[in-house]
Every structure is written in structure tokens, then in C-alpha cells.
């Protein structure tokens, strides 16, 4: 099972990605998480690459396509992806989508998470993250069992530097400019019947969205 989750930042795709990858025992591949980890686990990478990643995190800009493509290509060729994977927020541009086709990286499902900008801002400003695992919480909608601590490890949760309103609006603008064309791309791809495309309402409760996803993700 090969799945793509696409949607604006804060649409809930990251939370659902953890649930779905766990249920189907496939890797949850988040480009955002891979980039953040690359800063700490690959300290010897070039200064320009590090600068590009840090700038994107702080401002809401997109990271260089070539670097993202290299990360994804390396990741999906690992053994744990042989039975499938879930791409959380990738591809974000038409160039990235065309890269996937060029290298014969095909998917079974593309799921679009639809949500209003006002809810996105409310969700993201209250978001807290466990960096090593990518587990996501919200101080109001999905709080940890102990305030400020990850449920599994007990380690401290953090607030991403780009989870401020100014950066969020920049990320939303980037999404509408660069990623919405990708949605049209996959809608057209779905006409071949090899890839199924669905849009779901991301304004609902986590359990409601999860139940709908389960009903849609049925292997043909």
C-alpha cells in the first residue's frame, strides 16, 4: 500500500499519518521531519544546505527541490518500504511529482485534507511536537497526558519556530501556489484508475477522520 497525504499545514495529515502507518505497518515518511532530523544527525552536510533548511523552517519557504528529492529517493529504497509507505506532504511541487513518475514511484492512494485557513492557524499555534518520533499534540484538541511531555517517552515537547502566525500564513501561500497544482496533477492521474484520489474534510475530530480513512484505504 503506497499512500500520499496532501493538505495545508495543520490540516491533520501528520496525526493521521502516524495512525495509518501504525495500522498498516508501513513507514510514515514526513519530509518536514526528515529535514529537521538532518540538521542534528547530519551536521557535516554543506553550509548552504543547512542554511536553506533553517531559512525554510523560520520563514515558511520551501526547501530546494533537488535536496528534497534526494532525501525521498534514498528513503523509499530502504528495505522497510518494500511493502509500501506513506508520504506525508510530499510531493509539494509539480517538479517533485514528475520526479516520482520518472523514477517509477507509483502510489495507490492520494488523500487530500481540506480545511479552512482560520482553523489551520488555531491548530498550528497550539501544536507541540516530539522531535525524535514526530508525534504531534495540541494544547487544546489533542493534549499529552502530562503537560509538555511526550506520552511514550516522557521527553519534553517543543514548539516549532515556524509555528507562529506570520510563518503559517507564508506556508499557506506557498501551499496554494505550489501544491494545489499537484492536486490537479493527481486528479488527472486518477483517471487511469491506477491511483485513487479522495478529498476529505479535515475540520472534524481525529477519530472521525481516521474512520473515514480506514473505509477508503481498501486494497483493490
Q: Which three cell numbers stand for residue 121?
A: 492557524
Is pLDDT above 60 for 13?
Answer: yes
Is pLDDT above 80 for 70?
Answer: no
Mean pLDDT computed over 88-116: 90
pLDDT of amino acid 114: 96
Q: Which three cell numbers stand for residue 70?
A: 534526494
Is pLDDT above 60 for 103?
Answer: yes
Q: Which residue has the higher pLDDT, 112 or 77?
A: 112
Helix (H) or strand (E) holding 201: strand 196-201
Residue 170 forms beta bridges with which residues? Answer: none
In the three-class reduction of DSSP (H, G, I as helix; E, B as strand; rest coil), residue 220 is classed as: coil
Domains annotated for the chain, with CATH where assigned, are: 2-56+65-115+174-216 (3.40.50.300)
The Cα–Cα gap between 72 and 31 comes to 8
77, 29 Cβ separation under 8 angstroms: no
Q: Compute the mean pLDDT over every residue in the chain, rounded to the nearest whole number.
A: 85
Backbone angles phi, psi at 5, to 5 degrees: -105, 125
pLDDT of amino acid 46: 47
- Is 0.85 surpassed by the pTM of this model? no
Q: Which three cell numbers stand for residue 197?
A: 484520489
Mean pLDDT computed over 29-44: 65
Mean pLDDT computed over 114-129: 90
Find the range with the poorest average confidence among 33-37, 135-139, 168-172, 173-177: 33-37
pLDDT of amino acid 122: 87
The Cα–Cα gap between 128 and 144 comes to 9
pLDDT of amino acid 62: 59
Amino acid at each position: 500500500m503506497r499512500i500520499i497525504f496532501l493538505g495545508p499545514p495543520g490540516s491533520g495529515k501528520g496525526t493521521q499519518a502516524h495512525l495509518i502507518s501504525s495500522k498498516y505497518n508501513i513507514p510514515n515518511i514526513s519530509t518536514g521531519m526528515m529535514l529537521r532530523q538532518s540538521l542534528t544527525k547530519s551536521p557535516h552536510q554543506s553550509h548552504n544546505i543547512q542554511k536553506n533548511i533553517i531559512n525554510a523552517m523560520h520563514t515558511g519557504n520551501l526547501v530546494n527541490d533537488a535536496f528534497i528529492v534526494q532525501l525521498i529517493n534514498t528513503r523509499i529504497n530502504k528495505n522497510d518500504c518494500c511493502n509500501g509507505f506513506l508520504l506525508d506532504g510530499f510531493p509539494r511541487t509539480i517538479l517533485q511529482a514528475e520526479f516520482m513518475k520518472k523514477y517509477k514511484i507509483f502510489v495507490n492512494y492520494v488523500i487530500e485534507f481540506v480545511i479552512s485557513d482560520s482553523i489551520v492557524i488555531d491548530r498550528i499555534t497550539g501544536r507541540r511536537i516530539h522531535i525524535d518520533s514526530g508525534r504531534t499534540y495540541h494544547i487544546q484538541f489533542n493534549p499529552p497526558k502530562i503537560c509538555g511531555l511526550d506520552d511514550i517517552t516522557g521527553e519534553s515537547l517543543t514548539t516549532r519556530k515556524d509555528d507562529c502566525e506570520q510563518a503559517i500564513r507564508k506556508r499557506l501561500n506557498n501551499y496554494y501556489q505550489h501544491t494545489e497544482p499537484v492536486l490537479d496533477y493527481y486528479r488527472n492521474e486518477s483517471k487511469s484508475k491506477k491511483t485513487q484520489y479522495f478529498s476529505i474534510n479535515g475540520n472534524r475530530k481525529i477519530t472521525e477522520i481516521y474512520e473515514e480513512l480506514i473505509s477508503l484505504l481498501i486494497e483493490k
